[in-house]
Chain A
Amino acid sequence: MTIRTEPMTVNVGPQHPSTHGVFRVRITFDGEDIVEVEPVLGYLHRGSEKLAEERNYVQVVTLTDRLDYTSSMINNQAYCLAVEQLLGIEPPPRGKYLRTLTAELQRIASHLIAVGFFVQELGAFGTPLMYTFRSRERILDLFEMLCGARITVSYSRPGGVFADAPPDFWPALDQFLSDFEGELEELENLLLSNEILMVRTRGVSPLPPDVAINCSVSGPVLRASGINWDWRKVAPYDAYDQVAFDIPLGENGDNYDRFWVRMQEVRQSLRIVRQCVAQIEPGPVRLELPMVLRAAPGAEAYGRVEASKGELGFFLVSDGGVSPYRCKIRSPSLINLTITEHLLLGWKLADMIVSLGSVDINMGEVDR
């Protein structure tokens, strides 16, 4: 005898521990199988693009902290690069190195969050997350030494960075780098060949390369599908042309590959940080610029960086005034969400949370 079944629609979020903020997705289940997916956004919409039109070029930096609040350093950097492109200026070498160094520390911190939550969503409640947060906390302490803030750093400014690193920053960074080596190894031993993790994530929700490109996916998600595309290599900015690093690539684009690529990128970021420490030389960190900047009327600039979640772009248009006429933010998280439907359809309830976690979205950036 067959049992009569009917599809059931469930709202996952906006208040849900595993949606990484206030993301909501309406899912229709047939038993445990997902048959329909509809992402619903906008719960954290603060109108950053409109707010930017009311502030001067330097003040907008503080708005960018609040986009992807797990990688504020990189957001600052992306915005400042766009402004510098608009004004046709270039920061001094030490400023460039400090930006590169902080951006890579921030990438480590962001990937640690991504990996920690990813494992937590697989059911390893608490412990691995605290392992990753232990290391991330150290990075935030370093940021506090640089600029007095841990999350909303506003460290990069148009023309360089806010201030040079204090003298005790460098020994603290050295201490962190040597401690983190062991902590990362511990994490890798714990996770990379963990049998439960592999069984739950290998082959689940694969993303073929052509779909990834068509959906404008970027960052570790794109590279997990085997596409060698990283703006740090393709169009190097700041000091990225001075440092050597590899781009880890996945093969199948499944949940495991997305997780694996992030773990490998942490290693590469560590490499870059070490090279920055070795290469950085004394000098000014910021250009002497007026407090209120003005760009030529009609000037436009599209500044982009490889943020921890993908391509972060700022498209600035000037009308000659003191604030941007238009400040469009190309946020990787929003566009990476395009693949939600592709990742979830046909998979089961238990994989849904993990697949969402493997994309590593941040709602501050999705809704802006």
Chain B
Amino acid sequence: MTLNVVSGETLAQRLREVVPNSVVEWNDAAVWVEPNSLGSVASALHDDDEIDFKYLNAISAIDFVEHFELVYHLTSIAKRQTGVVRSRVYGREEPAAASVVGVWKGADFQEREIWDLMGVRFTGHPNMKRIMLWEGFDGHPLRKDFL
């Protein structure tokens, strides 16, 4: 039982066919996509027979100050392979990306957490409100300029 890693290049090739204008760049480890195309990228990878990313491991958000980076760790349980999709979100006032909750329900709490702590809003999320902190809390603590 070995685990394969789907390279960013393979993902990019597949995505360029199914979701035009979504791919920004790629390397061995990951593919970068446009934040507003994340929803269609998600369903493309979820429904693709070869890639078959039915399982979302984790969504991480990193504050690189000049942009936010979202990292999606994905797995196909049937094909025993993993892959990484990333997306750069620019702007500090109203950063936003498309939600993937419609494809992977497991993204629900994670996207809410990223909105709460990192301040990246997910459009299309059915319940986009704070999860760890209370409504009315000022700021997003995981941002580098919070503290």
Q: Is B77 within 8 A of A229, CB to CB?
A: yes
Residues of chain B lying within 8 A (CB to CB) of residue A213: 54-55, 77
B71 beta carbon closer than 8 Å to chain A: yes
Q: Is B54 within 8 A of A45, CB to CB?
A: no
Q: Is A42 within 8 A of B104, CB to CB?
A: no
Interface residue from A211, A217, A315 paired with B60 (Cβ < 8 Å): A315
Chain B residue nearest in CB terms to A39: B109
Q: Is A330 within 8 A of B58, CB to CB?
A: yes
| Known pairs A49-B142, A233-B1; A42 contacts B58 (CB<8 A) | no
Q: Is B58 within 8 A of A328, CB to CB?
A: yes
Interface residues of A in 311-364 (CB under 8 A from B): 311, 313, 315, 317, 325-326, 328, 330, 334-335, 337-338
B92 beta carbon closer than 8 Å to chain A: no
Chain B residue nearest in CB terms to A331: B58
Chain B residue nearest in CB terms to A316: B60
For the side of the interface on B, what is the size category? 20 to 34
Most A CB atoms within 10 A — which of B62, B105, B141? Answer: B105
Residues of chain A lying within 8 A (CB to CB) of residue B133: 42, 45
Q: Is A216 within 8 A of B141, CB to CB?
A: no
Q: Is B132 within 8 A of A45, CB to CB?
A: yes
A238 beta carbon closer than 8 Å to chain B: no
| Interface of B, helix, strand, loop or mixed by DSSP | mixed
Interface residue from A41, A229, A326 paired with B63 (Cβ < 8 Å): A326
Chain B residue nearest in CB terms to A40: B131
- A233–B113 Cα gap in the complex (Å)? 30
Chain A residue nearest in CB terms to B82: A235
B14 beta carbon closer than 8 Å to chain A: no
Q: Is B60 within 8 A of A214, CB to CB?
A: no
Q: Is B142 within 8 A of A227, CB to CB?
A: no
A367 beta carbon closer than 8 Å to chain B: yes
Chain A nearest Cβ from B40, distance in angstroms:
18
| Known pairs A50-B142, A235-B3, A313-B58; A216 contacts B77 (CB<8 A) | no
Q: Is B131 within 8 A of A41, CB to CB?
A: yes
| Known pairs A216-B56, A216-B57; A334 contacts B109 (CB<8 A) | yes
Chain A residue nearest in CB terms to B134: A42
- A342–B27 Cα gap in the complex (Å)? 38
Chain B nearest Cβ from A119, distance in angstroms:
28
Residues of chain B lying within 8 A (CB to CB) of residue A338: 105-106, 108-109
- A118–B131 Cα gap in the complex (Å)? 27
Q: Is A214 within 8 A of B106, CB to CB?
A: yes
Residues of chain B lying within 8 A (CB to CB) of residue A214: 54, 104-106
Interface residues of A in 29-54 (CB under 8 A from B): 41-42, 45, 47, 49-50
Contact string, A212-230, partner B, CB cutoff 8 A, digits 1/0?
Answer: 0111110000000001010
B80 beta carbon closer than 8 Å to chain A: yes
Chain B nearest Cβ from A154, distance in angstroms:
24
Chain B nearest Cβ from A138, distance in angstroms:
33
Q: Is B77 within 8 A of A330, CB to CB?
A: no
- A209–B141 Cα gap in the complex (Å)? 36
- A45–B130 Cα gap in the complex (Å)? 12
Residues of chain B lying within 8 A (CB to CB) of residue A315: 58, 60, 71, 73
- A235–B4 Cα gap in the complex (Å)? 10
A residues adjacent to B (C-beta < 8 A): 41-42, 45, 47, 49-50, 211, 213-217, 227, 229, 233-235, 302, 304, 311, 313, 315, 317, 325-326, 328, 330, 334-335, 337-338, 367-368
**What are 10 of the A-B contact pairs (CB < 8 Å)?**
A49-B142, A213-B77, A216-B56, A216-B104, A304-B57, A313-B57, A313-B73, A317-B62, A330-B73, A368-B132
B residues adjacent to A (C-beta < 8 A): 1, 3, 54-58, 60-63, 71, 73, 77, 80, 104-110, 113, 117, 130-134, 141-142, 147
